[in-house]
A and B are shown apart, each in its own frame.
Chain A
Amino acid sequence: MIHAFEVLVTLKPGLSDPAGKAVEASLPTMGWTNVSNVHVGRHVRLEVDAATEAEARAQVEEIAHRLLSNPVIEDFRVLETSGGAS
């Protein structure tokens, strides 16, 4: 059975986020002066063929831990999507 997931990878709080700062700095020039705390992360979609959702999720957690994120600088969250992936 195919299980679809999304993995969100974000920089750990407190670490400098130059990409987020660059986005934040560009917003006032576009007229938005009320935006702060902008952070840029990474979004990965994947599908896993496994017997149960729990089994698939455990595998995705390991993939996210070992490859999709760097535990020194990043956190991740695994979300199951409703499928319908094309």
Chain B
Amino acid sequence: MAGSARIGVITFPGSLDDRDALRAVELMGGVGVPLWHGDRDLRDVDAVILPGGFSYGDYLRCGAIAGHAPILEEVTGFADRGGPVLGICNGFQILCESGLLPGALIRNRSLRFICRRVMLRVETSRSPITADLVPGELIEVPIKHGEGQFVARDDELRRIESEGQVVFRYAGPDGVTDDAHNPNGSMASIAGVRNPRGNVVGLMPHPEHAVDPDVGPTGGQPLLASLIARAMAGASA
């Protein structure tokens, strides 16, 4: 068996969760590779993570300026070649702003920053982080965001739903999605989506904060394990 998958984590000015993401990758058996927003080099990684935080101060809109960072051109090329890309929280916002994922994230319905655990219902196995999971499965991970309300135009939302591009929905402990368990007012309780090809995925919750049983839930473990396995498969292909 060859060495483990190289998982790149991009640091933007204002990224907060890049180190947690690198640590989570290493905990799950991958090799964490730091990447820099101003570079045009992905250092031969097998998958890319865009982490959470407040890139470029989130001026204009969350993720708007990062969506045009030099390294995003490389990420776009990598994604076009089928490489696995994961955006978490601010990383999700960046992928939406850059056009790699559909929709947009606006202020939470409550106007409050929310920091707590949520249950996610897996909606599809066709994404690099749910390939080893079963639709309907529930995982527990934290959210921490002020602007996580997923919105899309009506026609785009219909297309996202009909093409099976919803990867996660916020759910109750019984797996039911309803308004009471929709923390930020997202359309159709959407917590994460993928691109049509299924190699780019973004979500507001934080799997990288949910890998160590000493400090919280471990719902992030199967997601990152799946990403590392997909990256390995791509690397050896």
Mark A residues whose CB is within 8 Å of B.
11, 15-16, 18-19, 21-22, 42, 66-68, 70, 72-73
**Hey, which chain A residues are within 8 Å of B2, CB to CB?**
none
Asked whether B64 lies within 8 Å of A67 as measured between CB atoms, the reply is yes
Residue of B at shortest CB range from A22?
Answer: B111
The interface residues of chain A lying within 8 Å CB-to-CB of B180 are: none
In the complex, the chain A residue whose C-beta lies closest to that of B65 is A67
Check B60–A16 contact: CB distance below 8 A: no
A73 / chain B contacts, CB cutoff of 8 Å? 104, 106, 151
Interface residues of B (CB under 8 A from A): 60-61, 64-65, 68, 96-97, 102-104, 106-111, 149, 151-153, 156, 185
Complex CA–CA separation, A15 to B185 (angstroms): 12
- Of B102, B106, B156, the most chain A CB neighbours within 10 A belong to B106
* Interfacial chain A residues near B149, Cβ < 8 Å: 16, 18
Kindly identify which residue among A18, A42, A72 contacts B107, using a CB–CB cutoff of 8 Å.
A18
In the complex, what residues of B have CB within 8 A of residue A15's CB? Answer: 106, 151
Judge whether B104 and A67 touch: CB under 8 Å. Answer: no
Among candidates A11, A16, A67, A72, residue contacting B109 with C-beta atoms closer than 8 Å: A16
Count contacts between A and B, CB distance < 8 Å: 41
Given known pairs A67-B64, A67-B68, the reply for A19 and B107 (CB within 8 Å) is yes
Considering the complex, give the chain A residue whose CB is closest to the CB of B61: A70
Shortest distance in angstroms between A39's beta carbon and chain B's nearest beta carbon?
13
Q: Which residues of A contact B151 (CB under 8 A)?
A: 15-16, 72-73
Inter-chain CA distance A67–B99, complex, in Å, is: 12
* B161 → A minimal CB distance (Å): 16
Residues of B within 8 A of A11 (CB): 106
* A-B residue pairs in contact (CB < 8 Å), sample of 6: A18-B107, A21-B111, A72-B96, A72-B102, A72-B103, A72-B104
Contact of B106 among A16, A66, A68 (CB under 8 A): A16
Residues of A within 8 A of B60 (CB): 42, 67-68
* CB-defined contacts of A42 to chain B, threshold 8 Å: 60
The answer to whether A18 and B96 touch across the interface, beta carbons within 8 angstroms, is no
Complex Cα spacing A67 to B64, Å = 7
Hey, which chain B residues are within 8 Å of A67, CB to CB?
60, 64-65, 68
CB distance from B65 to the nearest CB of A (A): 8
Within the assembled complex, what's the spacing in Å between the Cα atoms of A84 and B106?
35
A23 shortest CB reach to chain B, Å: 11
CA distance A42 to B58 in the complex (A): 14
| Partner of A72 from B65, B68, B153 at Cβ < 8 Å | B153
> A67-B60, A68-B60, A73-B151 are contacts. A18–B111 as well, Cβ < 8 Å?
yes
